[in-house]
Structure 1
Amino acid sequence: MTRRITRACRLLVVTLTAAVLQATPAPAADSPPDGVITWGTSADRIGDAAADRGYRMVVHTSVAGRDLRIRLSNAFGDRPVTFDSVYAGIQQEGAELVRGTNRQLTFDGSRSATVPAGATVYSDPLPGKLPAQSDLVVSIHTPDAAGPITGHWMAMQTSYATEGDRTAEESGAHWTDTIGSWFYLDAVSVRAAAHTGAVVALGDSITDGWQSTTDLNRRWPDYLARRLQRTDNAVKGVANEGIAGNKVLADGAGLSALNRLDRDVLSQPGVRTVFLFEGVNDIKAHTGVTAQELIDGYREIVDRVHEAGKCVVGATVAPFKGWPEWDPAAEAVRQEVNQFIRNSGEFDAVTDFDRILRSPYDHERMLPSFDGGDHIHPNDKGMQAMADAVDLGSLDCTSRR
């Protein structure tokens, strides 16, 4: 169901060497660097900040490359936040890092960065290579943070926190508080091989990974990233921009897909394709949203992605009969929306998650062997089946020119 590209583009053990850091100036805040995103997450307000706190965050990268850069976000802050010490290394086990890999990051040549309310900042490139599928650890310290904190609540990954600045330590001895969220960090990029691109998954809790196994990277975008690394596809980077409870049309659990598209998706470096898999929360909330309103939301996203010169793959809304908010009226909207996704020709390609996940005996219900237990979120096996269903060729715009 692939469409022509003319329409689509219309509208570190890592070898983060122990050499002395040679910083180069970073671009202005909010200006994406050259390169390709290798990990990303969607930002939201997740509580109130605390001063003199350290966060050691574990993230699993996708594409290999050099000169990693991180993006720190104060998108939901109401005042500036200062990061006076930021390090990146490779996870050994728990909060402990592989010896010799923990290195300090700089920002426009400085060891500290102050990010205004509503803004983001990129670090300078950190010389060295980062292999694909690395367990990267970013440690940050905020000396005087206060007010709303920006981060990602449901990480499905154990990270660590401490009092005071322990960012330079490779030992995990002082990082004794475990946390299940990422704080301030929302992207990691690298300079990848020539012509390498990335795909961003824009979604809700299914994309975010709820009901997948914590710490094992078994969200469907993780399985997709592993598939891509084993092929000669030019798209290697994968960023997971899912938010649990997120909707296409209305703010609530994070800004709506429409309202966060620019920041979470189009601003990321190297993005070639957007993979849109949202809608079930709009449908099951029973707020009066019609199929036509949801279709109009999809069309707006498609147009904006195309205007940015990127492709968009649409995924059908998965079955959720058995979830407490399911009823025949919601099912009728889902069926109408899915018919549009499959047959309208608006998307550059379609992945039919509905057909992959549904029971052959009841098309309104998820296949029991894929069901994580609540009848709406797939388990690890279901997540893998979703990733396996994606036509990898549909993710590479250049392959259809």
Structure 2
Amino acid sequence: MRARRTAPRLLAAVLFLALAVQGTPATAGAAERRHDVVTWAASADRTGDAVAGRGYRLAVRTSVGGDDLRIRLSNAFGDRPVTFDSVYVGIREQGAALVRGSNRRLTFAGGRSVTVPAGATVRSDPLPGRLAAASDLLISIHSPDAAGPATGHGMAMQTSYLTQGDHTGEEDAVNWKDTTGSWFYLDAVSVRTSATTGAVVTLGDSVTDGWQSSSDLNRRWPDYLARRLRKSSLTTVKGVANEGISGNKVLADGAGPSALHRLDRDVLSQPGVRTVFLFEGVNDIKAHSGVTAQDMISGYREIIERVHAAGKCVVGATVAPFKGWPEWDPAAESVRRDVNAFIRDSGEFDAVTDFDRILRSPYDPQRILPVFDGGDHLHPDDKGMQAMADAVDLATLDCEHADG
């Protein structure tokens, strides 16, 4: 049984290492234009206090495959520079252990160390080698001097690992005993692939972030979408970047910067993005803050305008039902209904996915269908997450605004 579990990871490691010495064949570059495409991402926020000398071994799964892996480190919420003196990436074997021989050092402008200014991000140099789609990576980083607010992603729905001291180059799990449910400092991974290949960014809140899906199993609805895209011939959009933040709003900062305030950094700055999938608004509506349907529509219109100005498609998703959640009331339901009418009927989005129709109960359309209810009447379970992904018309992820 162990051999069967290991085989796919070992194959991925072989692919990852195959070009390590010789680099990408020159004929590949001559045959087609290539560009960088985001293959994994997590929206940045303040994540507790930084700890000097700590190491992080962060578990992530790619969506699209390609060559020349690069990562992006973020100090967006730091109040001082942070130095990373050792960064490695390898193929995960099990837990915090890597497939033997797959752990490789990343460099930054040719050096092993990089200092990221407060409020900034930095990308690594390309790492030669082929990386398969759906690879489980462990990205190990160490900072000798981290202090002040740490930047990361609080609700990962994924177990990663901690240590004290620099153990980034080690492939075994001996020194990685402590665990965390957050990602720290890492906010994107990209690969280089055909210029005809693009990515979709899912911009949303806790439903997109994956709350009530099964931890460590990659069952968020964007994960199910990535699985569909890998098998589909309907679109050349293959990368999926999950930019959900639990509690996030379209209009107001709070649980992270609002969608309006983080659109550029979390979404439009990612390489190879062709489509923005906007599924957000329930936190604005249910907060009893006096937000009206017209307020929401104005926010959506600003996002649409900015996405189109950047040459991207924007797909809108209707706000799902949430009756039974403590903040639901008829006034909030009225706003949700009016907002959904705009999303469905205005024609201002390039395409629409009707998550409300997919998730609602036929017996009480203000409630989520019980078989999809994760238990709190707002967040779908694994079945609901899969139903959402299955509802996306993959062909709509391309449109006339896309710049390719």
One-letter code aligned to 1:303: E
Q: Tell me the TM-score normalised to structure 2 length.
A: 0.92
In 2, distance between residues paired with 1:63 and 1:327? 41
In 2, distance between residues paired with 1:355 and 1:90? 39
1:16 aligned residue:
16
Q: CA deviation at 1:16?
A: 1.9
For the residue of structure 2 that corresponds to 1:223, the secondary structure is: helix
In 2, distance between residues paired with 1:21 and 1:399? 38
1:356 aligned residue:
358
Q: CA deviation at 1:21?
A: 9.6
1:108 aligned residue:
109
Q: CA deviation at 1:13?
A: 3.1
1:140 aligned residue:
141
Note closer, same or farther for the CA distance 1:400–1:100 as it changes in structure 2 (3 Å cut).
closer
In 1, distance between residues paired with 2:102 and 2:238? 24
Say if 1:14 and 1:90, in contact at 8 Å, map to a contact too.
no
Note closer, same or farther for the CA distance 1:180–1:22 as it changes in structure 2 (3 Å cut).
same
Q: CA deviation at 1:193?
A: 2.6
2:391 aligned residue:
389
- The one-character-per-residue Cα deviations of 1:349-389 (angstroms, maximum 9, x if unpaired) are 00000000000000000000000000000000000000000
In 2, distance between residues paired with 1:147 and 1:87? 24
For the residue of structure 2 that corresponds to 1:88, the secondary structure is: strand
1:69 aligned residue:
70
1:198-209 alignment to 2 at 5 Å?
198-209=199-210
One-letter code aligned to 1:189: S
One-letter code aligned to 2:50: A
In 2, distance between residues paired with 1:353 and 1:243? 18
When the two structures are aligned, how many residues end up with a matched partner?
A: 381
- The one-character-per-residue Cα deviations of 1:48-91 (angstroms, maximum 9, x if unpaired) are 10000000000011001000000000000000000000000010
2:381 aligned residue:
379
Note closer, same or farther for the CA distance 1:399–1:333 as it changes in structure 2 (3 Å cut).
closer
Say if 1:21 and 1:126, in contact at 8 Å, map to a contact too.
no
Equivalent position to 2:319, from 317, 320, 323: 317
2:55 aligned residue:
54
1:252 aligned residue:
254
Q: CA deviation at 1:194?
A: 3.5
Note closer, same or farther for the CA distance 1:325–1:21 as it changes in structure 2 (3 Å cut).
farther
Q: CA deviation at 1:398?
A: 6.1
Q: Tell me if 1:298 matches 2:287.
A: no
- The one-character-per-residue Cα deviations of 1:119-178 (angstroms, maximum 9, x if unpaired) are 000000000011000101100000010000000000000000000000000001110001
2:287 aligned residue:
285
Q: CA deviation at 1:17?
A: 1.2
Q: Tell me if 1:327 matches 2:333.
A: no
1:8 aligned residue:
none
Note closer, same or farther for the CA distance 1:297–1:312 as it changes in structure 2 (3 Å cut).
same
In 2, distance between residues paired with 1:192 and 1:159? 28
For the residue of structure 1 that corresponds to 2:15, the secondary structure is: coil
Note closer, same or farther for the CA distance 1:43–1:16 as it changes in structure 2 (3 Å cut).
same
Note closer, same or farther for the CA distance 1:398–1:227 as it changes in structure 2 (3 Å cut).
farther
Q: Tell me the TM-score normalised to structure 1 length.
A: 0.93
In 1, distance between residues paired with 2:195 and 2:313? 19
RMSD of aligned C-alpha atoms?
1.6
1:7 aligned residue:
none
Note closer, same or farther for the CA distance 1:322–1:21 as it changes in structure 2 (3 Å cut).
farther
Note closer, same or farther for the CA distance 1:399–1:305 as it changes in structure 2 (3 Å cut).
closer
Gaps of 5+ in 1: 1-11, 24-32
2:88 aligned residue:
87
1:256-271 alignment to 2 at 5 Å?
256-271=258-273
In 2, distance between residues paired with 1:295 and 1:399? 21
Gaps of 5+ in 2: 1-11, 25-33
% same residue: 76
In 1, distance between residues paired with 2:292 and 2:339? 9
Note closer, same or farther for the CA distance 1:329–1:399 as it changes in structure 2 (3 Å cut).
closer
